[in-house]
Structure 1
């Protein structure tokens, strides 16, 4: 019914608040799914919250505005993902105001309106011992600064391999 990547996004978004992982999961899916703009809306929301939580208000504001703008064009697709697009738009507008007024980061919940989707996510949370709707752990430095602190050795190795494959053989 819903892509596995989307379910994983929702679980991270609403439990451990790992917005960096949300971005990674959906970006990979977006590339495999024909670059559909609906995924960009959700990626941008996660990135905006990641920036805001790190204290980057300008980046958060810019990204949240982009998410809202794209949401207005992708309303039907957002609804098809089991989200209430009208409530989500109001939520983003309110969050944009919060950022513009230099208010502190606050965890939000996406307005899931498909009860089957909600129950599926809750069952996964129960199975894994996760709490849906738990506020972000502001003491988790790795979570807050993940893009700087994560192990990137696999990414660097993949880039090196790609670079080598493009090099011309010596004759």
Structure 2
């Protein structure tokens, strides 16, 4: 890639502006959808991470969602009280507590994801399947690079 620094800075600025705009739009859509839900957008995000992570712990959730462990504990307690998640203790090390969705928690995740997908379906009318595949490939590359940068920054803080 032959691009001078100025061009690269311009493209990174454009990406950053679009990423912020997309994030704000997604949060707004999720907030609107959650009005008729029994969980908040933050609770749904937590449920979704648990749903896609084997042996999920509170520490993992705090890192994945970029929040303090105390905040995770509060949300986990609320969701446990609602019967949406359960704690599973490691038999070999009782200090390790895994979080799992209950049947009701799984139902909420499926239901909320369907609402989000339905809201976002118009995107499919604007892009071809090939364009969507390419977009996802590019976003995967950006996501991986951002995660590497995040790890480097975290390691430099220690």
- Asked whether the two chains share a fold, i.e. TM above 0.5, the reply is no
Q: Which has the higher contact order (CA 8 A, sep 6+)?
A: 1
More strand by share: 2
What TM-score do you get using the length of structure 2 for normalisation?
0.31
